[in-house]
Chain A
């Protein structure tokens, strides 16, 4: 199975009604592992009734396939319904390219640094 890893960290939010988590992805998300790996994010979303936002740090993510993008889209929808957001930070060029071709960059802000991501999530 292709290797992928997801770590989760709580961040301090500037807003009292907002919880922010930093989700760091590494490795490759493909057909062999994405169903299993996605459960981590779904568990976080299900556990928080409202106001959960996530910064996805893609600095060490080398590949994602269309199913991973599908999950990303679903997380965006679910978090939006609960008044939360997603911001993607530090994605590699090939990752940005695939997010762009499927139109996801129109929905989810993609920024170059973690600092920019924190500013974006606080908006």
Chain B
């Protein structure tokens, strides 16, 4: 018999998918569901995390893993504390980069004076950075990147 997870144990769910944006609408729907049901987040924050997941995954799809490969997205919900979103690629994609280099690019795009009329570059630098409390870039031992975005549950005041 399935039982509701206990309120103290973190819940971890991983989705693995082909490197193809075709599957992202399903992942976004799942993210909304997780954010609302597990994190009990407001609609505003649930949609924000949906965007964060989408942007991290799109980055992995476009640059991180090639078309014949996979990416994964893991949700870790720690009750009454945080939701972690971890997106991993295998480094087989068209633009191999290191965690340090990606961190540098994000920092550069967040610098004051950076033009808001640039066409690209908002996904990580603005959306993921603004709507999470921690954003960490790591090199995976087997190749590729792991990006961890954390949102603390008690830091989700609805803003206008």
Asked whether A114 is an interface residue with its Cβ less than 8 Å from the other chain, the reply is no
Interchain CB contact under 8 A, A97 and B48: yes
Contact present for B120 and A106 (CB under 8 Å): no
With a CB–CB cut-off of 8 A, which chain B residues contact A28? Answer: 25
Considering the chains assembled together, what is the distance between the CA atoms of A32 and B55 in angstroms?
13
Tell me if B25 and A2 are in contact (CB < 8 A): yes
- B62 with A31: CB separation less than 8 A: yes
Do A98 and B51 contact each other (CB < 8 Å), given the known contacts A65-B58, A73-B118? yes
A46–B92 CA distance with the chains assembled, in angstroms: 37
Interface of B is mostly: helix
Q: Given A32-B24, A102-B127, verify A71-B62 contact (CB < 8 Å).
A: no
Determine whether B61 belongs to the interface, using a CB cutoff of 8 Å to chain A: yes
Residue A107, interface by CB 8 Å: yes
The docked-state distance in angstroms from the alpha carbon of A123 to that of B25 is 38
Verify if B117 is at the interface (C-beta below 8 Å from A).
yes
Are A63 and B28 interface neighbours, CB within 8 A? yes
Q: Does A5 contact B (CB under 8 A)?
A: no
Tell me whether A1 is interfacial, beta carbon within 8 Å. yes
**CB proximity of B160 to chain A, nearest CB, Å:** 9
Q: List residues of B whose CB falls within 8 A of some A CB.
A: 21-22, 24-25, 28, 43-44, 47-48, 50-51, 54-55, 58, 61-62, 116-120, 122-123, 126-127, 130-131
Chain A residues within CB distance 8 Å of chain B: 1-2, 28, 30-32, 63, 65-67, 69-71, 73-74, 76-77, 93-94, 97-98, 101-104, 106-107
